[in-house]
Structure 1
């Protein structure tokens, strides 16, 4: 019997073509690495928090970060095992997105600018005003041109968010000029 070379084979072991095809077949391992790094970061941050456990009790501000960090590491391991066993993510089919279209950089840059602008304005103007600008600007950047209702919806969303966080949850947000009103 003569040796038959399969043209689809990647070549001899150790060649860069084989390594690239292995990496291409297991590209989801990059997501596993990202999840692992995030999990370690969250756990490190949670374990280095300066918290008075005697005053807070066993369930305190470190509980959720610990749960999230462990969950990130667990998902990373389970995904890595699945990928190494041959599992692959499905191609994007469920969304109404044309993957052949180029990125809409205008929208991306508008959203980034609106986000950064609201971050800069939150201290001098307060959350209700900066949040309303954030919600309204985001709606505009994403294509809404309803100037009759969008500012009103943005203002209501922003004020409700401020009241819920500041008054009900006890998370202090800068109130700005509206500090005394709300």
Structure 2
């Protein structure tokens, strides 16, 4: 005769001698239900959006049924509903399916060199954008990113990076009216 799980245990746990679930059984259950983390994240985000929407100070007189709080309230409520539905689905045994075209080998360790190079490039851009301006720091950003991701064409990459940065600067600064720091090139363009 088989018996059900001991009261106070999580399904799938292996009870120890005192009837409590073992740490390895609890870890296995959490690993099998890891999508609950996404549910908790959505719940927290929904609560944050609703809290901000409900505490929003509105000075403009509202005309009609839709005011500035309507969209955040709908989005926050939607996040809470999706969070609840996801948690129920995961607890009932639902699992997310991996994409069929995904070519990432999850057994391989992360490429920390690339991650550190990209982090350095982004931090350097943040520091250099004011003194050097967007065209120069943007070119360094594009070139550094290409280098970190494996491109070693020193004859082509700097020219493409400079062209992209200059094109982006002109479009945003001159055509769209979004001011970007020009740095030394401010007077030229």
Gaps of 5+ in 1: none
CA distance in 1, matches of 2:148, 2:140: 12
Shift of 1:5: 8.3
Tell me what 1:133 maps to.
140
Gaps of 5+ in 2: 6-10
Q: Which runs of 4+ in 1 moved over 6 A?
A: 46-52, 62-68
Tell me what 2:91 maps to.
84
Q: Is the 8 A contact 2:14 2:21 kept in 1?
A: yes
Higher RCO (C-alpha 8 Å, min separation 6): 1
TM-score (norm 2): 0.70
Tell me what 2:13 maps to.
10
Partner of residue 111 from structure 2, selected from 87, 104, 107 = 104
Deviation per CA, 1:87-138: give whole Å up to 9, x if none.
2112465222222222211111111001100100001011111111001100
CA distance in 2, matches of 1:145, 1:88: 41
Partner of residue 94 from structure 1, selected from 97, 101, 106 = 101
* 3-state SS of 1:173 partner: coil
Larger radius of gyration: 2
* 3-state SS of 1:106 partner: helix
Tell me what 2:175 maps to.
168
Higher relative helix content: 1
